[in-house]
Chains A and B, each alone.
Chain A
Amino acid sequence: MNELPNLVSGSVETESSFGQVEVKALSVEVGEAAERFTALDRLNFALSPGEFVCVLGPSGCGKSTLLGAIAGHLIPNEGQIFVDGELVLGPHRNRGLVFQQHTLFPWKRVIDNVAFGLKMSGTGRAERYREARELLDLVGLHGFEQRFPAQLSGGMQQRVEIARALINRPRVLLMDEPFGALDAQTRRMMQDLVLKIWMRVRTTVLFVTHDIDEALCLADRILVLSHRPATIVADITVPLAKPRDEDMTMSPEFIEIKRHCMTLLRNST
């Protein structure tokens, strides 16, 4: 991964040329035998490098299935996914994944959870701890290196999850309702944190949520999915500057987009 600049510290490369995602005629069926159903129905879309895109849709519509397919954990029945022109055939360290909760390794200390990706690529202990510490500083968890995940609050655990996914310098960061289990205030803080990190790291982010406000706060673009089998019912560009403060959420532009999203979601259920 030497061709990538150090994304965490020092001078920050604002425009990365990596992280382009193309989803072409993607159909995925899930479930066993009789309960098998089509979760995604011929989806077509593309993400530009460094774009922050939210996927919004009613619960159970296949948002997570979409992330699973891009991550390489689910095999598409039809269609292809390309990341920087390469066909996705399975999980890969350049596509990071963050789940809602409790997917830290409970038997590893915080520092070892974060350094895990580098351990798997054969980086020496001193170097991987150094990078892990840097990332823990970035997510505001300096001093918690030796804790076990069970000794952290839900919000802190999600910070560790994000740091762990970032250590591989993924071209695409896939986030599956990462703050769904947090209280409103912590969630708000985590959204700010994700934006702050994204401004520095500029990886492509595909962020699944069912919360319209969350999508509006974070996204450059919002993909709205229909109820299953999921199709894309709208591809909305959010032309507001980031970070977006409270005042901006009161602006007519913002309210117009929000109303539009609500109508779409209501019609799709």
Chain B
Amino acid sequence: MATPFAANQSAGRPSVVQRRAHGALRHRWIWRGMSVLVSLLLWQLASTYKVSIGLVTMENVPAPSELVPAFWQILHSPKLPTHLLASITRVLTGFSLAAVVGMSAGLAIGRYRAVEDMLLPPLEVLRPIPAVAWIPLAILMFPSSEASMMFITFMGALFPILLNTIHGVEGVDPRLIATARSLGTRGLSLFTEVIIPGAAPAIVTGLSIGMGTAWFCLISAEMIAGQYGIGYFTWQSYTLQNYSDIIVGMLLIGALGMLSSVLIKRVGLSLMPWYRLTEARR
């Protein structure tokens, strides 16, 4: 196998190095692909022969081969868009509210000590409580189960966004603020021109983490309180003994969470073309 080390030895002839490095890269992708295939094969064998080792049993776990028809069926079912739409609406509502509240509170807390003293203590008390622990209280607090699930999603996304925004604002170089003020910046311009762009990388990180926790919390809430939604679908598949659909639901949840986090990172980076440059310099 051509290792990166072997490629380094032929430095001085860039074309060869490049070709070898390219070959090494392709080699690694082959290995990675094989690794996934072997895992799938082991799973297939384990569930076909209903492997049971006492603690864990594969008896009721569907094999990968059973998932393909299950996937095919759910993709053509009219229920799928309903479930997806329900979940995405809840996540977007809860997450957007968390983004607005988290970023504006974070900017104020990070910048003004008085606001920090007023707002942060109660938030610090709530912070260690996992959003999922809010589910029973949320059901009591909100007459509509829709609103209670959005609230759980909101709570899940709020703290990563809030804390990263505070961190970002506090991390803005005081000399940049001094420079801006010497150049005539005052009032709101200081936020729009210096503090928000300076904190932007941390804010994007917070939004991306917040999106992940928002999905996590929504799925839990849907399993308990939901009607429709991808978490509800997964749990319902269990109660209806459609075991293949459990795994289809799990894979859909994973894909949705990953896609939305990647989307946020991508959008964030495209809004901060300068960021890659400064990272490279450090």
Contacts and interface: CB of A to CB of B under 8 A. Distances in A.
Co-assembled chains A and B = yes
A107 B183 contact: no
A106 interface: yes
Interface string A23-54: 00000000000000000000000000000000
Interface residues of B, number: 26
Interface in A84-123: 90-93, 95-97, 99, 102-103, 105-108, 116-117, 119-121
A148 interface: yes
Given A117-B184, A120-B189, A103 B179 contact: yes
A107 B182 contact: no
Contact of B182 (A95, A102, A108): A95
A71 B275 CA distance: 30
A92 B183 CA distance: 7
A150 B182 contact: no
Contact of B274 (A97, A119, A150, A165): A150
B200 A96 contact: no
A260 interface: no
Contact of A105 (B176, B181, B182): B176
Contacts of B185: 120
A142 interface: no
A188 interface: no
Contacts of B173: 102-103
Interface string A134-161: 0000000000000011110000000000
Contacts of A93: 182-184
A106 B184 contact: no
Contact of A91 (B175, B181, B274): B181
Contacts of B198: 107
Interface string B228-265: 00000000000000000000000000000000000000
A144 to B, nearest CB: 14
Nearest to A120: B184
A99 B173 CA distance: 12
B277 A151 contact: yes
A248 to B, nearest CB: 34
A92 B186 CA distance: 10
Contact of A99 (B175, B180, B280): B175
A102 B281 CA distance: 12
A168 B183 CA distance: 7
B2 to A, nearest CB: 34
Contact of A121 (B175, B184, B197, B272): B184
Interface of A: 68, 71-73, 90-93, 95-97, 99, 102-103, 105-108, 116-117, 119-121, 148-151, 164-165, 168
